[in-house]
């Protein structure tokens, strides 16, 4: 299976995560090589399984209890940046009938809880891209070629002239947290001020 076919197979497997853009009539591309496609595939499987099979019981405005699934996640962009994978996501609003039936505070609670879970899944996937060759999918590490960073296995690195970075840290310290993610963290609940 070539790169294009492999990408198409993933898009087709997760139509809710990769909807067709109504204006352009196309779906997103992956701005990375196919060594990371299995990571994308596993991330999408985990995300969609969580959305489809994790119901939260809430009390609706009319007093009835109902099972609420987390809102749908959509990926707008998946790309390589500074050698590791980045996933830019968006959480869709609840369907109109749900918004009508359940109060806003409850919906927000379910949405925030889902966003936290998605954030963790995506961070883990981004970490995996920092230890997986983007070209072939074998174990790799962040390499350097005249200031250009990429995650490569030893064989692909040799072929393309990449070298290990002298300042190589552990995988967790190498992983760059995107500004959006830091912002999201900062906006979370603040600790109670000391009395």
Choose the stretch contacting Zn ion; rule: CB under 5 A; options: 39-47, 60-68, 110-118, 138-146.
Answer: 138-146
- Measured in residues, the chain has a length of 195
Residue 125 or residue 150: which is nearer to Zn ion going by CB? 150
CB atoms within 10 A of CB 71: 19
Number of continuous H segments (helices) and E segments (strands) in the chain: 7, 8
- Residue 142 within binding range of Zn ion, rule CB under 5 A: no
Q: Tell me the site size for Zn ion, rule CB under 5 A.
A: 6
Choose the stretch contacting Zn ion; rule: CB under 5 A; options: 56-64, 145-153, 172-180, 186-194.
Answer: 145-153
Interface residue with Zn ion, options 45, 136, 165, 175 (CB under 5 A): 136
Rounded least distance, CB 134 to Zn ion, Å: 8
- Residue 128 within binding range of Zn ion, rule CB under 5 A: no
Interface residue with Zn ion, options 32, 58, 107, 133 (CB under 5 A): 133
C-alpha 146/C-alpha 161 separation (Å) is 9
C-alpha 3/C-alpha 34 separation (Å) is 6
Residue 61 or residue 138: which is nearer to Zn ion going by CB? 138
Contact 87, 125 (CB under 8 A): yes
Long-range contact pairs involving 91-95 (C-beta distance under 8 Å, separation at least 24)? 91/115, 91/118, 94/68
Rounded least distance, CB 33 to Zn ion, Å: 9
User: Considering only CA atoms, which of 177, 175, 150, 183 is closest in space to residue 165?
Assistant: 150
- Residue 135 within binding range of Zn ion, rule CB under 5 A: yes
Return residues touching Zn ion (CB under 5 A): 133, 135-136, 138, 153, 156
């Amino acid at each position: 299976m070539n790169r294009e076919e492999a990408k198409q197979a993933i898009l087709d497997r997760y139509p809710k995560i990769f909807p067709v853009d109504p204006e352009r009539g196309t779906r997103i591309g992956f701005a990375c090589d196919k060594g990371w496609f299995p990571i994308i595939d596993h991330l999408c499987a985990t995300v969609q399984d969580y959305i489809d099979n994790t119901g939260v019981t809430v009390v609706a405005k009319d007093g009835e209890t109902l099972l609420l699934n987390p809102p749908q996640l959509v990926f707008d962009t998946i790309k390589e940046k500074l050698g590791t994978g980045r996933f830019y996501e968006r959480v869709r609003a609840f369907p109109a009938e749900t918004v009508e039936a359940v109060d806003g505070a409850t919906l927000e609670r379910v949405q925030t809880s889902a966003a936290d879970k998605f954030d963790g899944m995506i961070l883990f996937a981004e970490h995996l891209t920092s230890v997986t060759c983007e070209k072939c999918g074998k174990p790799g590490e962040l390499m350097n070629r005249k200031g250009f960073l990429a995650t490569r296995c030893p064989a692909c690195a040799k072929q393309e002239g990449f070298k290990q970075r002298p300042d190589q840290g552990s995988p967790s310290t190498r992983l760059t947290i995107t500004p959006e993610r830091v912002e999201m963290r900062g906006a979370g609940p603040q600790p109670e001020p000391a009395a």
